[in-house]
Amino acid sequence: MNFEEHAAKRLIAGAIATPRGRLCATPDDAAAAVTAIGPAAVKAQVPAGKRGKSGGIKLVATPDEAAEAARKILGIEIAGHKVARVLVEGKVDIARELYAAVLNDAASKGPLVLFSTEGGMDIEEVAATRPAALVRHRVDIRAGLGPAEARAILGHFDLGASRDAIADALVALYRLYRELDAELIEINPLALTGDGKVVALDCKLTADDGALGRHPGLEAQGTPDRLTQLEQRGRELGLKFIELDGDVGVLANGAGLTMTTMDAVAHFGGRPANFLEIGGEAYRRAEPALRLVLDNPRVKSLVVNFCGAFARTDVMAEGVISAWLALRPTIPVFFSVHGTGEDEAVAMIRARLGIEPYDLMEDAVKAAVDAAKRLR
């Protein structure tokens, strides 16, 4: 789950200083904020990077300028997100811009701290062009990150008298990362002020969806995924459903097999209408899953591809058959069933639907693609 800047900053405020700021939804709000705060930055609140380049950040000195900036920013689209609010943040006396992040690292299977003296830039660019300005430090999650280790991370950088303050900020950042079950906390830039303070000018935060359950209230502060109506229904049913723009409906079990079924649809010249996985714990929910696929008006044909491992194909097929008989859809359906429970599943499909499942997944997909083309 991602968080917009203002929400992320509220979450980190106890650990790292942030500029004084106010969240505003209208130009008048923005003007009032600058009256209270003084010269400020007006920043679009969207869960996307590169806001500056998209015209989403403007520096203002007066309330009138703030209103004008807010008028220009509110309503524009950045990376597909319409800007509904701006964060008006007091100007900071920046002496130096640094970079700091903590993230889950697949290579070391543990936390990774990134620190750079090249703040304000895209960190991938720094890694590519100025590798000496970026340090990557693997943290032993059992021990955590203490001040001595944090100072060592900063080892070869010339940070003058601010070294300890920056080390403290790294320690605080790591603690937050652990407390929030974050996948990523990135402060870019991390500013060093003229009077030697460390201030987070921006903050990108991604929390682990799998851990939201143990952080009451956290989800409500995040940016909800933008879902279509069908996707929203899928989520409420606990199903992994993604709506696509094609016309061949896909119902399969397991993430890998579902993606592969979509790939096969594309391979044979068709376009998948959805991703819908009913593997894992969801494999008993074939009936609501089928309703979801069929309620997409674009769907012209359906391929049902089961390869049972954990999921039992007989249980899934039973659900699909019952739903099919209840809904009596008019579109053609093509089955391919293998793995756990396949004999029972195939017999049921034959007996109750009068349909012969395909022996090869490729043939079932091809037939579904051809049928959709004929009905287009």
Query: Which of 4, 5, 277, 314 contacts other proteins by CB under 8 A?
Result: 277
Please give the Cα distance from 320 to 111 (Å, whole number).
43
**Start-to-end Cα distance in the chain:** 38
Is residue 77 classed as helix, strand or coil in its secondary structure?
Answer: strand
Site string for other proteins, 104-133 (x = CB under 8 A): x-xx-xxx----------------------
Query: Which of 311, 320, 346, 348 contacts other proteins by CB under 8 A?
Result: 311
Our finding on whether 142 is near other proteins (CB under 8 A) is yes
Min dist CB 213 to other proteins, Å, is 7
Min dist CB 256 to other proteins, Å, is 2
* 8 A C-beta contact, residue 272 and residue 248: yes
DSSP-derived letter for residue 353 is I
Please give the Cα distance from 375 to 246 (Å, whole number).
13
Stretch that binds other proteins, among 84-92, 146-154, 211-219, 319-327 (CB under 8 A): 211-219
Site string for other proteins, 161-200 (x = CB under 8 A): -----------------x--x-x-----------------
Min dist CB 240 to other proteins, Å, is 5
Stretch that binds other proteins, among 154-162, 190-198, 210-218, 327-335 (CB under 8 A): 210-218
Four-point Cα dihedral 22, 24, 27, 33, nearest 10: -20
Query: Which of 257, 303, 323, 364 contacts other proteins by CB under 8 A?
Result: 257
Is residue 186 classed as helix, strand or coil in its secondary structure?
Answer: strand
Stretch that binds other proteins, among 13-21, 92-100, 161-169, 358-366 (CB under 8 A): 358-366
Min dist CB 244 to other proteins, Å, is 7
Is residue 168 classed as helix, strand or coil in its secondary structure?
Answer: helix
- Per the annotation, the verdict on 186 as an active-site residue is yes
Query: Which of 2, 45, 188, 258 contacts other proteins by CB under 8 A?
Result: 258
Please give the Cα distance from 367 to 19 (Å, whole number).
60
Query: Which of 71, 125, 362, 374 contacts other proteins by CB under 8 A?
Result: 362
Please give the Cα distance from 105 to 141 (Å, whole number).
12
143-177: b (≥16 Cβ within 10 Å) or e: eebeeebbbebbeebebeebeeebbbbbbbbbebb
Site string for other proteins, 34-73 (x = CB under 8 A): ----------------------------------------
What the block records as the tokens of 177 is: 């990362």
Nearest to 176 by CA among 13, 7, 5: 13
Query: Which of 339, 353, 355, 373 contacts other proteins by CB under 8 A?
Result: 339
Please give the Cα distance from 57 to 163 (Å, whole number).
30
- For residue 155, CA distances in Å to 7, 133, 139 come to 32, 12, 15
Cβ nearer to other proteins, comparing 20 with 271 = 271
The residue annotated as part of the active site, out of 99, 174, 283, 358, is 99
What the block records as the tokens of 119 is: 């703040």
Our finding on whether 308 is near other proteins (CB under 8 A) is yes
Please give the Cα distance from 80 to 47 (Å, whole number).
10
Stretch that binds other proteins, among 23-31, 64-72, 168-176, 335-343 (CB under 8 A): 335-343
DSSP-derived letter for residue 131 is G
The residue annotated as part of the active site, out of 149, 186, 231, 318, is 186
Query: Which of 60, 230, 303, 307 contacts other proteins by CB under 8 A?
Result: 307
Min dist CB 28 to other proteins, Å, is 35
- Per the annotation, the verdict on 99 as an active-site residue is yes
Q: How many CB atoms lie within 10 A of CB 236?
A: 9
Cβ nearer to other proteins, comparing 162 with 188 = 188
CA–chain centroid gap for 365, Å, is 30
DSSP-derived letter for residue 152 is H
Catalytic residues, which ones? Answer: 99, 186
Q: Give residues in contact with other proteins (CB under 8 A).
A: 104, 106-107, 109-111, 140-142, 178, 181, 183, 208-211, 213-214, 240, 242, 244, 252-260, 262-267, 272, 275, 277, 279-281, 307-311, 338-340, 342, 360-362
